[in-house]
Amino acid sequence: MKKFITLLALAVISISAVNAQVKPSFGFKAGLNFSEFDAESTSEDATGYHAGVVLHIPFGDKFGIQPEAIYSFSDVDDAFKFSTIDVPILVTYKLVKGLRVNLGPQLRVDVGSEFDSAEEEALNDFETLNFDALAGLEYKLPVIGIFAQARYKIGITDIVENGDVKENGFIVSVGYRF
Confidence label for 79 from pLDDT (cuts 50, 70 and 90):
confident
51: Cβ contacts below 8 Å, ≥ 6 apart: 28, 29, 30, 31, 70, 71
Residue closest to 96 by CA, chosen among 139, 145, 152, 60: 139
Dist CA 46 CA 98 (whole Å): 31
Contact 150, 1 (CB under 8 A): no
Query: Taking 70 as the threshold, does the pLDDT of residue 164 lie above it?
Result: yes
- What are the DSSP calls for 105-116, one per residue? EEEEEESS-EES
pLDDT digits (tens, 9 = 90+) for 88-98: 999 999 999 99
Contact 68, 53 (CB under 8 A): yes
How long, in residues, is the chain? 178
Dist CA 15 CA 60 (whole Å): 10
Residue closest to 155 by CA, chosen among 105, 110, 83, 120: 105
| pLDDT at residue 162, as a whole number | 74
pLDDT digits (tens, 9 = 90+) for 118-145: 545 544 577 889 999 999 999 999 889 9
DSSP class of 130: E
More confident residue, 49 or 164: 49
More confident residue, 138 or 60: 138
Dist CA 84 CA 63 (whole Å): 28
| pLDDT at residue 4, as a whole number | 46
Confidence label for 10 from pLDDT (cuts 50, 70 and 90):
low
Question: pLDDT averaged over the chain?
Answer: 85
pTM of the model: 0.81
| pLDDT at residue 138, as a whole number | 98
- For 9-26, what is the mean pLDDT? 61
Dist CA 74 CA 140 (whole Å): 27
Dist CA 33 CA 145 (whole Å): 23
Q: Please report, rounded to a whole number, the percentage of residues in the chain having pLDDT higher than 70.
A: 83
- For 149-161, what is the mean pLDDT? 91
